[in-house]
Amino acid sequence: MDKMPKWADVILTPLISLVLAMAISALVILAIGESPVMAMKTMVEGALGSSYGWGFTLYYATNFIFTGLAVMVAYHASLFNIGGEGQAAMGGLGVALVLLYLPLPHWAIALPVAMIGAAAFGAAWAFIPAYLQAKRGSHIVITTIMFNFIAAAALNYVLVNKLRPVGSMDPASARFPEATHIPALTDLAAGLGMTWGKNTPVNITFLVAIAACALVWLLIWRTKLGYEIRVLGKSEPGAVYAGISPVKITVIAMLISGGLAGLMAINNVMGESERLVLNAVEGAGFIGIAVALMGRNHPFGILLAALLFGFLYQGGGELALWTSIPRELIVVIQALVILFTGALDNMVRMPLERLFLSMRRTKGGAK
Amino acid sequence: MTVENDMMGGRSATTAPAAIELRGISKAFGPVQANRNINLSVPKGSIHGIIGENGAGKSTLMSILYGFYKPDSGQVLVNGQPITIADSQTAIRAGIGMVFQHFKLVQNFTVLENIILGVEDGALLRPSLSKARGVLKKLAAEYQLNVDPDEVIENLSVGHQQRVEILKALYRQADILILDEPTGVLTPAEADHLFRILEGLRDEGKTIILITHKLREIMDITDNVSVMRRGEMVASVKTSETSPEHLAELMVGRKVLLNVEKTPAAPAAPVLEVRNLTMTDDEGVQRLRGIDLDIRAGEILGIAGVSGNGQTMLLEILGGYPPKGSKLGGEIRMNGQPLPIGGRGCDAAQRRRAGIGHIPEDRQVEGLIMDFAAWENVAFGWQDAPEFTKGMLMDNAAIKADAEAKMERFDVRPRNPNLAARNFSGGNQQKIVVAREIERNPDLLLIGQPTRGVDIGAIEFIHKQIVALRDAGKAILLVSVELDEILALSDRIAVMFDGRIMGERLPENTTTGELGLLMAGVTDTEHTPDDAGIPPGSAHVDTLPQEPV
């Protein structure tokens, strides 16, 4: 009964958080003697003002959609998977192995096979923490974060000692065969007779990401498995009473979560760099946590939040390029947005709730 | 806004000011009017009962008295003086003490440390501890409130923990003591002892307000009683001038049957046979010590007992989910077929396939997912049922339709399947669980505490449904800590104590006194027949004899 309307909860709260984060960012920019208005203009123009900007924004957003969905699926089973970074890195290894060692004649075949490789490696990396949590009670937050470091070290080893082509000084794999390169959105636009997003990394993985949003929605709210995941997430004794095995559902939810994080590699490894490089994930696994939080653990919210963070990433890059605002400040702005929309969510929510309640009361009293 | 309230008791004002007087107290939470123009006068040195259904506003009213809520309007007078109780500190200074339903004690502190918590005199503990020790000794002698001051709280029985709460209030020099549902967790003997303590306190001039939903307690101990219904104080009467039936009628606003109408049982073939069931928990403590039970089709077997004597584990094992890490032994047969006990292939889903329904003891933790909508809860536990699924997908339309039908038949209010379970009242939540399990038409229905925290109107309805299921030839195992409920519903009563069945009785041939003794672990051989009728308190259960070998 003591609730505010849903639209306020879902839209108004993150919006106010965002405005607050912007306001403080503006103060910081003022403090170093730059113009916030100019900065904002640069960001918006750089990220959204051209098809080029959009191309990068959407590319980053694609990464964040996958890692955001990964956090979300685990969250609905009340598991906090912060191992998206490592799972995505392992997904990259899966993509690289599949594309380097399987003879795949065409991208249309390579894509599904690489997706299986990415998801399988990501899921396998999530499986060990999941099993330890389900069977031994080792806390998933601790194990997944440790597995991020193990993944980074393992990838380092594999790239330097196993996948590096003979004679190369670069700790990266060989280029994937030409036939397996998936089309960029530029190519699709060209196919429709348009020029759009020239020289941008956004590729058809973006469409895969949108499909993944729809599928995850279907999974969580329409399937029996989703029902069981949500039951476990709300009450473990309830799940046991209902004949749902917490061990089984914990492992399955984490496998799906890890698989989704792994799928990110289709975008950055297969779609963009077309070879496996060191630190290919670039923190997208962690951004996924903020994206899921801000997106209220709903695929549609995650899509919007991922677009916002894509904008911040691309806009921030432009800011560093065209203004004298140092690159570090862009990280500050991004951190403020994460802080306000994620961690300080309740700071905005509670006063807002009180406001709505008192509004309702005065309305009720007037009768 | 002003609602006429002319139901105040007719007592004329005496010369001495009332200990507590409330004038026109109103309190609303959003659109919900929790208290409406409440008038109440509690004379000094009396025990005053406040009774009402769940959600009638009793707790809100007492929270106002203790400074947790501020009333929207109205006035509070303590000993004739108007007072604004802004917080619990003010309440304590005004001499009001509160004993909550859920104790607020630090489990790993000693009794003494808990007593002085928040009222330490200065930075060093020793002086206040020794002062408290002296005061405690005096209080113990005066009011039969003996507790070992150096014992750690977690080692105390629930009854003793409650005493500590009372001592805490008295140590803070409370003259007015409010007790919220104090007997919910006590054995009959402990409750009896508590009542003697309360009477002692009253005789010393203290004023006691007792909030309860148990009519018998009101009749036994109070001097005056006020009845609340839907946020209003509908009557204040002298206890000696009323009857349980009259109070019950005032509470729900219509006549209710306290006794369940049922025909004699016609038991048929055994449905469930339990043989020598044992269970040792993960700490190596034996919690079930060889349970033998038979439940026949068409009968209700009631299991009476103070909570914590193995009933919960029995239900969980029969329901297919023994506690983690437990070791199990014995045999369970359902319709002649052996059922697995623990291990692989033994879970709640397997039990449901075998025809066992289960209304769990705690609907908020097990029986419902509180954040799920009512309709989603109708499929809870039955998410595998073919009529609820379409391949891998849930058939949400079918579940919703089924939920609407069940809510209609079981009169769940509000009749909104999209409302989250937590937004229903306790009684309506329980109706959702009962509807879900009973309408599956199980051969055996396990029921734990079917009416805990449920208002009288819903209790009556739920009891009728249980009896109807029995009459349809189903077997029912009923576990309840409410003796009245066990007596009213059961065709046979088994009493559990310390993991054992202490004995079986027929409800028509036993008394609450006899059952109370069995619940406290006193077997037939240890009391003479004339003990059976008197209150169990006289058995000195505080110093229980070790259970017989």
**DSSP state string for A191-218:** HTT---STT---BTHHHHHHHHHHHHHH
Burial grade of A350 (CB within 10 A; 0-12, 13-18, 19 or more): exposed
Q: Chain B: residue nearest A366 by CA?
A: B1
Judge whether residue B5 has pLDDT over 50: no
CA B321 to chain A, closest CA, distance in angstroms equals 7
CATH of domain B270-355+442-543: 3.40.50.300
With CB atoms and an 8 Å threshold, state whether A238 touches B366. yes
Nearest residue to B311 via CA among B519, B452, B547 = B519
In one-letter notation, the amino acid at residue B302 is: G
- Identify which of B370, B383, B423 has the shortest CB distance to residue A227: B383
Q: How many angstroms separate the CA of residue A232 from the nearest CA in chain B?
A: 10
- Using the Cβ of A243 and the Cβ atoms of chain B, whether some distance falls under 8 Å is answered with yes
User: Closest Cα of chain B to A365: distance in Å?
Assistant: 9
- What is the per-residue DSSP string for A242-295? TT--HHHHHHHHHHHHHHHHHHHHIIIIIIIISS--TT-STTHHHHHHHHHHHT
Q: Does the structure show a pLDDT above 80 at B450?
A: yes
Determine the distance in angstroms separating the CA of B402 from the nearest CA of chain A, rounded to an integer: 17
Interface contact flag, A224 B368, Cβ < 8 Å: no
Contact A241 B349 (CB under 8 A): no
- B29 and A CB contact within 8 Å: yes
- Residue B13, pLDDT > 50, answer no
**pLDDT greater than 60 at residue B1:** no
Residue B51 near residue B62, CB atoms below 8 Å:
no
Of B30, B360, B383, the CB nearest to A1: B30
Q: Which overall architecture, per CATH, does domain B1-95+177-183+204-254 show?
A: 3-Layer(aba) Sandwich (3.40)
Provide the pLDDT for residue B399. 96
CA A323 to CA A311: how far, in whole Å? 17
Question: Nearest CA to B302 among B335, B262, B244?
Answer: B262
Residue A134: partners with Cβ closer than 8 Å, 6 or more residues away: A246, A247, A248, A250, A251
Between strands B444-448 and B475-479, the pairing is: parallel
Give the number of other Cβ atoms within 10 Å of residue B117's Cβ.
13
The answer to whether residue B537 scores a pLDDT higher than 50 is no
What is the Cα–Cα distance from B292 to B344, expressed in whole angstroms? 24
Query: Which of B371, B374, B372 has its CA nearest to residue B433?
Result: B374
**B379 pLDDT above the threshold of 70:** yes
Residue matched to tokens 């630090």: B106
For chain A, say whether B350 makes contact (Cβ under 8 Å): yes
Cα B155 to chain centroid distance, Å, stands at: 22
| pLDDT for res B302 | 96
Cα–Cα distance between A48 and A17 in angstroms, integer? 21
- How far apart CA B183 and CA B221 sit, in angstroms, is 12
Domain boundaries defined on chain A: 52-307, 324-361
Contacts of residue A242 in chain B, CB cutoff 8 Å? Answer: 348-349, 380-381, 383
Residue B320 near residue B360, CB atoms below 8 Å: no
**Length of chain B as a residue count:** 549
Check B365 against A235: CB less than 8 A apart: yes
Distance between CA atoms of residues A329 and A308, nearest Å:
18
* Residues in B touching A228 (Cβ below 8 Å): 383
Cross-chain Cβ contact A241/B366 below 8 Å: yes
Among A224, A230, A256, the strongest candidate for a mutation testing the B interface, having the largest count of B CBs within 10 A, is: A224
Kindly determine whether residue B369 and residue A224, on different chains, have CB atoms separated by under 8 Å. Answer: no
What pLDDT shows up at residue B7?
A: 39
| A137 touches B at CB < 8 Å | no
The predicted structure's pLDDT at residue B60: 86
Is the confidence at residue B533, as pLDDT, over 70? Answer: no
Question: CA-to-CA distance for B373 and B395, rounded, in angstroms?
Answer: 15
Mark yes or no for CB contact A241/B358 under 8 Å: yes
Q: Is B17 left (phi over 0), alpha (psi -120 to 50) or beta?
A: beta
- Which of B2, B29, B362, B366 to probe the A interface (max A CBs under 10 A)? B366
Q: What is the mean pLDDT of chain B?
A: 85
Using 50, 70 and 90 to split pLDDT, how confident is the model at B31? low
Q: Which helix (H) or strand (E) holds B286?
A: strand B286-296
**Residue in B1, B347, B396 to test binding to A, most A beta-carbons within 10 Å:** B347
Residue B288, strand partner residues:
B279
Fold of A52-307: ABC transporter involved in vitamin B12 uptake, BtuC (1.10.3470)
Interface touch A227/B376, C-beta < 8 Å: yes
Give B539's DSSP letter: G
Least confident range of B111-120, B333-342, B453-462, B463-472: B453-462
State yes or no: cis peptide before B414, omega within 30 of 0: yes
Identify the CA nearest to A206 among candidates A217, A218, A197, A195. Answer: A197
How far apart are alpha carbons A107 and B402 in whole angstroms? Answer: 48
Q: What are phi and psi of B72, to 5 degrees?
A: -70, -35
Task: Return the H-helix or E-strand segment holding B505.
Answer: strand B500-505
Contact call for residues B429 and B380 (beta carbons, < 8 A): no
What are the tens digits of pLDDT across the range B253-296?
A: 655 556 778 888 889 999 999 999 999 988 788 889 999 999 99
β-strand partners of B233: B228
Chain A residues in contact with B381 by the CB 8 A cut-off are 241-243
Residue B3 has pLDDT above 70, yes or no: no
**CA-based torsion, B406, B408, B414, B417: positive or negative:** positive
Predicted pLDDT of residue B12? 42
Q: How confident is the model at residue B223 (pLDDT cuts 50, 70, 90)?
A: very high
Question: How far does chain B reach from its first CA to its final CA, in angstroms?
Answer: 66
Element (H, E) at B39: strand B32-42
Which tokens hold the place of A198? 């020239």
Contact B407, B432 (CB under 8 A): yes
Contact B51, B224 (CB under 8 A): no
Confidence of residue B10 (pLDDT cuts 50, 70, 90): very low
The residue behind tokens 């000094």 is B44
pLDDT (tens digit per residue) in B37-63: 999 999 999 999 998 776 678 888 988
Average pLDDT value for residue range B499-514: 88
Contacts of B367 in chain A (CB under 8 A): 238, 241
Residues carrying CATH 3.40.50.300, chain B: 1-95+177-183+204-254, 270-355+442-543
Reading the block at residue B121, the tokens are: 């005199």
Q: How many Å separate Cα B482 from the centre of its chain?
A: 8
For the stretch B75-128, pLDDT in tens is 999 999 999 998 888 999 999 999 987 788 998 999 999 998 888 877 888 888
pLDDT of residue A267: 97
Mean pLDDT, residues B325-329 taken together = 92
Tell me which residues of chain A have a pLDDT lower than 50: 1-2, 365-367
Q: Answer whether B380 sits within 8 Å of A228, measured CB to CB.
A: no
* Closest residue on chain A to B361 (Cα): A241
To the nearest whole Å, the CA of B383 is away from the closest chain A CA by 7
The radius of gyration of chain B from alpha carbons, rounded to an integer in Å, stands at 25
